[in-house]
Structure 1
Amino acid sequence: MPFPRKLRILVAPLDWGLGHTTRCIPLIRALLRHDAEVIIAGNKVQEKVLSAEFPHCKFLFLEGYGVTYSTTGKGFFWKMMQQFPRIAASIKRENSWLKELLIREHIDGVISDNRFGLYTSKIPSVFITHQLRIKTGLGQLADDMAQRVNYRYINRFSQVWVPDFKETQNLAGVLSHPSSMPATNVAYVGPLTRMSHRPFVNEGGGILFIISGPEPQRSFFEQKIFAQLKDIKQQVTVIRGKPLQEELPLIADAVIYNHLPGNEMEAVMRSAALIVCRSGYSSVMDINALGLKSILIPTPGQTEQEYLADYLMQKEFAIKGSQSDFDLQDLLQKAADFSYSGFINQDDLLLRKVVAGFLDNCREQLIKEKN
């Protein structure tokens, strides 16, 4: 007997950079394939990105955490600690928002990408994260304390979905494979990438720079890149990670975009011989899906990105560079001599299976309430 109506699923990514937003694209696609009605929540930048991909999905404004970042790498952690009370208030506020939404919109399930306040016991709720283990940069004791706080929030959800491979060969190392797991049910869903999984065929050459992440470090990285483009003889393309901005800087012999939707982004990535970008995890997942050569530049002070770049260079996945002493010519020479053999084959079958199970749980909960 067919279910009487479509399930209504809320998907809400965190607003720290665009990575959380873009990695929700394959998830929303999977939900729509299973005939769910998807409601998306986020801020204006996220609406711009996701509404372009899913114009028929309802979008609700949900205020972000409004985090500001240090102008120096060393000040990153303490800047975050200063803002913790405000972050905690945002978490409490978004949980109140969700309680009202459940009544108003008749939501059947919630999928939160790193938004700690979107938990509920009334319907199935999922928390997405690749950071079960948080690297603070202050040693194991601080890492253990951060993990306990992290798990206290995560355990309020029905499930946690980890966007990585479960096996030893994986993309996030100890971040996604800690020695101790949360109490809630953990499912590895494979990397969440909006890129297709068809075999990579290089259709051109040149260097693609993808500039992303929080300000002011995004702009600092951009300035470093623009200052050294004049010395590059290859074709250059730059994607600035600014979807709301219309005006473009004029750089000789460079093709520049503020933002590209997923299909156009994939085409530009496939046409590049090398990508230079942040070591943000969403970028890592996209690069792996396409099997692209890359140079990863961690955002200063973001210990997660520092760890990922080091880990992936050891795995022969990418070259690691530094923003503080960014030397593009030197990095290009290192890339020319690097083996680039650390890519992992994947498909989206695991994600489809996990999403199908989640929707079955939502149906069971709804039937139970009706009876």
Structure 2
Amino acid sequence: MKILFGVLDWGLGHATRDIPLIEGLLGIGHSVDIISNGRALKILKEKFGGRCNYYDISGLYVPQMYSSYFILACAMNLHKMAASILKSRKKINKIIKNGKYNWIISDNRFELYDRPSNSIMIIHTLNFNSHLLKYPITKLMEFITKPYGILIVPDFPKKGIAGIMGQNKNILNKEVHYIGVLSQIRKKHYKKNIDYFISLSGPEPQRTILENKLIKQCHKLKGNIVIAGANPDVNQTKTIGKNIKLYSFLNVQYQEEMMNRAKFIITRSGFTTTANMIELGKKRALLIPMPGQPEQEFLADLYERKKYFHHVHQDDINLEKDIKVAMKGFRGFRPQWRTKRSVKKFLKII
């Protein structure tokens, strides 16, 4: 079958979680064309090379996040966001018309769909448990998912990674499949010789703001420290002081190695980022939600309440203090199954 697969470029999380799905499709003989842009497209090209065809098309316009008022920034830029989707949709219509695809699969590319009978959306946010945002965001999710006949949720149907955020009983007249955790990382046996692994992710400028803040505080920590910058636009490795090594970017292979070697992980509370830790069975971690990003703030609070992982807000980071808290009383998230089985569930749907 011929498949058009769209990937959102907002950080690297959507691209990395789609890697095992695309690998699975190619592995059983399907033809896959990829629509993405920016850093997401770059790592997908590096991963799949000539095995796929690629379309560089910008998706949803996202305001730059210098402050915690992300929702307000989006409200003030609705006209730009709508215009970006319409512009992208015109280009995509031509691709779909000429491509004669059996399936259209969209990971949060809201403008990528054909008919409900052949359009699939991969999405983990179907609801929002916030007194202020619950109704508008829930209704927005219902509107966004309307063109798709099938929804694939990379979560568990009960006791899920995203809690209530992955559930919405008001989404009717379509198939909803919970396939389980998705991660490009695999658990492997390495010697645990990295005391702290800091994995930075997410859109700019907040990625760089957090990087600079953490580097200043890392000097107070004892042990072997590795920082992965999640910036594929730069290929740079440097040593900071006696015990800190900074990589501007780690490919999947080296990211997997570092996470397996790590005794403690410091990272964002993004859905895919935490899915990587869940895949590996990690228990010791400090999560730092992106300021003004409701999903990350919700997940960080959820994991704190459930005693999965400790979190701290970006403006309040005190690494020495926060790590001590995170070391006590948190048990991690135990998945019902792992990515290998999730991919099998996905391929059965296709």
The alignment's TM-score, normalised by the length of structure 1, stands at 0.88
> CA 1:317–1:12 in 2, change beyond 3 Å: closer, same or farther?
same
Amino acid at match of 1:61: D
Residue number in structure 2 paired with 1:114: 108
Do structure 1's residue 305 and structure 2's residue 296 form an aligned pair? yes
Counterparts in 2 of 1:195-274, with a 5 A limit? 195-196=185-186, 198=187, 203-248=192-237, 250-252=239-241, 253-274=243-264
Change (3 A) 1:15 1:143: same
- Between stretches 312-321 and 114-123, larger displacement belongs to 114-123
Residue 321 of structure 2: aligned partner: 330
How many residue pairs align between the two structures?
A: 346
Cα deviations by residue, 1:241-287 (Å, 9 ceiling, x for unpaired): 10011345652221211112212211110000011000000001110
Counterparts of 1:26 and 1:316, CA distance in 2:
29
Distance 1:200 1:250, change over 3 A: closer
Secondary structure of 2:240's aligned partner: coil
User: 1:38, CA displacement in angstroms?
Assistant: 1.1
Residues 197, 227 of structure 2: 8 Å contact kept: yes
| Percent of paired sites with the same residue | 27
Paired residue secondary structure (1:102) = helix
CA distance in 2, matches of 1:90, 1:66: 6
The one of 72, 93, 107 aligned to 1:78:
72
For 1:127-146, what aligned pairs fall within 5 Å after superposition? 127-134=121-128, 139-140=131-132, 142-146=133-137
The one-character-per-residue Cα deviations of 1:192-214 (angstroms, maximum 9, x if unpaired) are 11122x47665323100011112
**Structure 2 gap ranges (5+):** none
1:365 aligned partner: none
Answer yes or no: is the 8 Å Cα contact 2:227–2:244 preserved in 1: yes
1:88 corresponds to 2:82:
yes
Asked if the contact 1:20/1:282 (under 8 Å) is kept, the reply is yes
The answer to whether 1:125 aligns with 2:119 is yes
More divergent stretch after superposition (33-42 vs 176-185): 176-185
Aligned to 1:51: 45
CA distance in structure 1 between the aligned counterparts of 2:336 and 2:47, rounded to whole angstroms: 25
Deviation of the 1:72 alpha carbon:
1.5
Q: Which runs of 5+ in 1 are unaligned?
A: 1-6, 359-371
Contact map agreement 1:14 1:114 (CA 8 A) in 2: yes
Q: CA deviation at 1:332?
A: 1.3
Q: Which residue of 1 aligns with 2:167?
A: 177
The letter of the residue matching 2:281 is G
Letter in 2 for 1:69: Q
Q: Matches of residues 331-370 of structure 1 in structure 2 within 5 Å?
A: 331-347=322-338, 348-358=340-350
User: TM-score if structure 2 supplies the norm length?
Assistant: 0.93
Q: 1:23 to 1:152 in 2, by over 3 A?
A: same
Counterpart amino acid of 1:26? P
Aligned partners of 1:89 and 1:134: how far apart in 2? 25
Give the conservation status (yes or no) of the 8 Å contact 1:69–1:80.
no
Give the C-alpha shift of residue 322 in structure 1: 1.4
Cα separation, 2, equivalents of 1:17 and 1:199: 25
Task: For 1:284, give the aligned amino acid.
Answer: T
Greater shift, 239-248 or 154-163, is seen at 239-248
**Residue type of the partner of 1:283?**
T
Q: Does 1:20 align with 2:8?
A: no
- Which protein shows a greater Rg? 1
Contact 1:202–1:273, Cα closer than 8 Å, also in 2 = no
Say whether the 8 Å CA contact 1:42–1:61 is kept in structure 2: yes
User: Residue 31 of structure 2: which of 10, 27, 37 is its match?
Assistant: 37
Out of 267-276 and 101-110, give the one that drifted further.
101-110
CA RMSD of aligned residues (A): 1.9
